[in-house]
Every structure is written in structure tokens, then in C-alpha cells.
Amino acid sequence: MGKPTGFMEFPRKKTPWRDPVDRALDYYEIYVPAEEGHLKKQGARCMNCGVPFCESEHGCPIDNLIPEWNDLVYKGKWKEAYERLTKTNNFPEFTGRVCPAPCEGACVLGINEPAVTIKDIENSIIDRAFEEGWVEERQPIKSTGKKIAIIGSGPAGLTAADQLNKVGHSVTVFEREDRIGGLLVYGIPNMKLSKSLLGRRIKLLESQGIVFKTSTNIGIDVTADELQNTFDAVLIATGSTIPRDLSIPGRDAENIHFAMDFLTQNTKSLLSSSLSDGDYIEAKDKDVIVIGGGDTGTDCIATAIRHGCKNMVNMEIMTKPPERRGPDNPWPLWPNILRTDYGHEESEKRFGSDPRRFSLLSKEFLSKDGVVSGLKTVDIEWTQEKGGKIQMKEIANTEKIWKADLVMLALGFMGPEQEVLNGFGVSINTKGNIDSTYGGFSTNIEGVFAAGDARRGQSLVVWAMNEGRGAALAIDRHLQGTSRLSAPNLKLGSLKT
């Protein structure tokens, strides 16, 4: 694929983001359009490897045909590249922006050279497709007469809805929030995924026949029995939404918030009033601490900087990752290396240093008049005992107090909320997720299926889309006995339930 000698001729060069100083002043997307000549060179780096590991169990969860559309971009065949991309990916404009690109971690070129810029190329293909008018409304050829209810409009629910609608089923998506999108609308800030792009896609799905019902809380506004009596199948795709807390002394002080509350309120206010209503958690002129790394922590950093925070510290309990793969982290495993994301970059430009502090254990929140004023921490070290067990040990005399007017907890999620699940009587596994058949997505209740983070636990948007496609196939087979739908091959990640 691509130019046979391209990987030897052209170095990896990512499409740059907007200047960090400028972009931190607004909520517009951080991305800039890539030049076609640049993308052609990057596509040429795809090296026609015998086995494309970018599509393996360590690579793309939705089996994107990556070498094929890399080659087509190199040859200037953009429409054909779009057609190959959307054969496996329902929403490339989402994954091209928010996916951490496990495909690049598994790229064969990455064994001894920087990987192909797969994510940049994917993003550019779908953006061009919308610009050229190639993304068109596609109505189902024939109606099956079957009705399906999907609870949750995040990436898993939307993907399943799109797939099931294609084969003629009547699909209704129920969302308890006031806008469609789940994690995509309120969990990811506008500068990383513009809500105008989400709205554009939702409008397209509506035009194709999918019905969306917002502000509808299943179990309260509509009962489980009503859904089961009205629809031929139900898919639960409510996500993993119970945040992991930090139960240390002083946790009850004011101005300590879960990260998702901070992000959700900010985006709601931004979309409703451009923040003029003040109905959000304010970080302006405050010393901010974000506890926990990952994408959510980064998004909190970037949002607080846009508010105009006075200082930013991002604490992580784990050790600082290495610059390059370690001997215990060989290709094609996901590279556990130090990455500087957009929020880290903006904080460094604003305050002069990387906001991250590693190997810190939070011990106690301090407060004044009931409002958080600081955080006491201790340094830790991680050691490996015989048998491979990793042990954490506090380092004596390393206690430190950090000033804080606002704290965000970005510690991940514990599982799905139980009210909807209890209403249907679905079984829960030992991890608190919905217990469903491996590869089948069915629950213990006839006609009720599960997909996404509610089934497999907290994961990536692209894994939620994998689940949505797989669940759609399972539901179609359940209703029709056979199916024309395709779904990703079962991979290592699908074993997680």
C-alpha cells in the first residue's frame, strides 16, 4: 500500500494543532485542516506490511481497513477512501478526533520507526467527505416491521441505532439528558469534539428515520414493562457512569467535584448561553488540582485554563511513564509512554511547566469554613515483589500540602447505574456490569440486550462503537434469524465483561 519506499523517504509528521496560547482563549476545535500534499506523504508511509497489525486485536477495535484508505489517500482517490473508511466506521468524525489511536500503537512501522499518522488521515477523509457532499442520507430499502428501543445515546447506542436502521428496523433512542450524544455531547469538551459536528450527524440519522426522545428517564418517565410490551427488542447502552470517589478525610468540603460534573455543566452552559448564565462550576482565579490522568483529566485541565484559573496541578498515583517503550512493553502492545496531550501543552504554555506530578498519594483534603483550601499528599514508590505483584509504599518525610480552591476527581468509573438494570431484572456480574453472553450481547431477559461500557466496563469510544455494531448484529439475528449486517471480529478487548 502507498509508495513502496515511502516509509524510508518521509518522516512521520502530525498535522499540528492550533497554537496553544490562542486556542486556550476559546472553545473552538483545536484542530487545523491538513494540506493534501502533506497527507499524501503520510499515507505513502504505510509500508504494505504482510500482516497489518493496525487491524489486529491490538489495533483498531472496529476493523478499519486502514492500509486500504492510506493507499487511496496517497493516490488522491479521496471518495474511494471515504467509502472504504465508512464500510467499518459509522462515525469517523468522532473517532478521528477523540480516539487515542491504538492502531498507531500496533503499526508495523512502529517496531523501529515512528508509526503512520493514521488518526490524522482518518480525520481528514471524513472532513473532506462532508465538504464534498459525499455523506448522504440513505434510507432503508425495506422495512422489517420490527421496533427496537435503545436506552442511551452515547457512541454504543448511536452506532447500534445506525446499523439497525440500515436493515429496515424502526429504531427509537431514549436519552435522559436534554441533548443527544451521551458522552460525546457532555463528557468531551467542545474544543476536542465540536458539538456542531455531533448535531450534523444526529440530524442525518433523524433524516434516515431514527427517532430520538430526549429528557426521557427510563424507569421514571417510561417503565421497563412499557418498553418490553411496545418494542420487539431493547438494547441497554447507558454507559459506565458511577464515578470513582476518593474517600479520604476532608472529602465533604465544598468545591471538590467529580470531573464529569465539571465538564457536563460547562458544556451545558456553553451550548445554552455561551457561559453567560453562570450555571457551571467556575475555575476563574482559582488554584486548581485535578486528581487523575487520562483523557478526562486532560479535558478538565483544558477547561479550567479557558476559565482563567490561577494555577494548575495534575496529580497521578502512578509513576511517570518512560519516553520510549520499556522491555516489558514490546510492540504491538499499547505503548505505555509519556504523552503530552492538548491540555498539558496549554497548561505548560500558560504556567511555564508541565502540570503533571507523578507518584503522589492523596492523604487529606484541608478546608477553611467548609470550603476546600488544600490537599495533603505523600510521595510513593512502586516495587515489584516475587511473583510479579506490584506493591505501593509511602516514602517517609515526603508529606506536602498543596494549595487548592477547586479540586476535580478524574479517577474513572465504577460501572453503570443500577436503576434501569433493576427495572428490567438483568443480571449483573462481579464487576458491577451487565452480565451478557460473550459475542451475543444478550442478557438473561429474553429480548433485552446490552452494549458499550454498561456491558464491558469503562473503555474507549471506539470500543463502544465495536459493541454497538456487535449488538446490532445480534439483535438483527434475534429478530430475523439471519443478518446482512457486519460487525468487528471478536478481539481480546471483547472478552472484558
> What total of structural domains would you count in the chain?
3
- Tell me the mean pLDDT in the region 3-32: 96
pLDDT bucket at 438, cuts 50 / 70 / 90:
confident
User: Where residue 57 falls among pLDDT bands split at 50, 70, 90?
Assistant: confident
Model pLDDT for residues 102-112, shown as the tens digit of each residue: 999 999 999 99
Domain of residue 455 covers: 147-241+414-495
Q: Is residue 488 domain-shared with residue 424, that is, in the same domain?
A: yes
Residue 142 lies in a domain: no
Of 209 and 440, more confident:
209
Whether residue 345 is found in the same domain as residue 278? yes
Reported as a pLDDT band with limits 50, 70 and 90, residue 489 is: confident
Mean pLDDT in residue range 70-92: 97
Q: What is the residue whose three cell numbers read 472529602?
A: 251
Residue 17 C-alpha cell reads as 494543532
Q: Same domain for 269 and 360? A: yes
pLDDT band at 387 (very low <50, low <70, confident <90, very high): confident
Tell me, what's the pLDDT at 129?
A: 98
Neighbours of 334 (CB within 10 A): 16
- Of 104, 132, 160, the residue that ends a domain is 132
Please indicate, yes or no, whether residues 365 and 394 belong to a single structural domain of this protein.
yes
* Domain-terminating residue out of 102, 132, 162: 132
Q: Are 310 and 282 in contact (CB under 8 A)?
A: no
Residues 277 and 173 in one domain: no
pLDDT number for residue 3:
85
214 and 86 within one domain: no
Q: How many CA atoms lie within 13 A of 196 on its CB side?
A: 6
Domain-located, residue 468: yes
**What pLDDT is stored for residue 493 in this prediction?**
45
pLDDT value for 491:
56
Q: What is the mean pLDDT of residues 337-345?
A: 97
What is the pLDDT, as a whole number, of residue 495? 39
> Is 70 exceeded by the pLDDT of residue 27?
yes
The long-range contacts involving 350-354, CB below 8 angstroms and separated by at least 24 positions, are: 350/21, 350/24, 350/305, 350/312, 351/311, 351/312
| Mean pLDDT within 211-232 | 97
**Is 472 part of a structural domain of the chain?**
yes
Domain contains 138: no
Specify the CATH number for the domain of residue 89: 1.10.1060.10
pLDDT at 494 over 80: no
In 3D space, the residue among 461, 402, 449 whose CA is nearest the CA of residue 421 turns out to be 449
Tell me the pLDDT of the chain averaged across its residues.
Answer: 95
Read off the pLDDT of each residue in 308-316 and give the average, rounded to a whole number.
Answer: 98
Inform me whether the pLDDT recorded for 320 exceeds 70. Answer: yes
484 shares its domain with 428: yes
Tell me: do 260 and 405 sit in the same domain.
Answer: yes
Decide if 1 is inside a domain: no
d(CA 118, CA 96): 9
pLDDT in the model for residue 490: 59
Residue 476, pLDDT score: 97
CATH of the domain at 336: 3.50.50.60
pLDDT category of residue 440 using cuts at 50, 70 and 90 = confident
Are 400 and 420 members of one domain?
A: no
Determine the Cα–Cα distance for residues 240 and 235; give it in Å rounded to an integer. 15
Instruction: Let me know whether 421 and 470 are in one domain.
Output: yes
Q: For the chain, what is the HEC assignment?
A: CCCCCHHHHCCCCCCCECCHHHHCCCCCCCECCCCHHHHHHHHHCCCCCCCCHHHCCCCCCCCCCHHHHHHHHHCCCHHHHHHHHCCCCCCHHHHHHHCCCHHHHCCHHHHCCCCCCHHHHHHHHHHHHHHHCCCCCCCCCCCCCCEEEEECCCHHHHHHHHHHHHCCCEEEEECCCCCCCCHHHHHCCCCCCCHHHHHHHHHHHHHCCCEEECCCCECCCECHHHHHHHCCEEEECCCCCCECCCCCCCCCCECEEEHHHHHHHHHHHHHHHCCCCCCCCCCCCCEEEEECCHHHHHHHHHHHHHHCCCEEEEECCCCCCCCCCCCCCCCCCCCCCCCCCHHHHHHHHHHCCCCEECCEEEEEEEEECCEEEEEEEEEEEEEECCCCCEEEEECCCCCEEEECCEEEECCCECCCCHHHHHHHCCCECCCCCECCCCCCCECCCCCEEECCHHHHCCCCHHHHHHHHHHHHHHHHHHHHCCCCCCCCCCCHHHHCC
**Has residue 372 been placed in a domain?**
yes
Question: 261 with 402, same domain?
Answer: yes
* In a domain? residue 250: no
Task: Please check whether residues 418 and 405 belong to one and the same domain.
Answer: no
**364 pairs with which residues across the strands?**
376
Domain presence at residue 139:
no
What's the predicted TM-score (pTM) here? 0.95
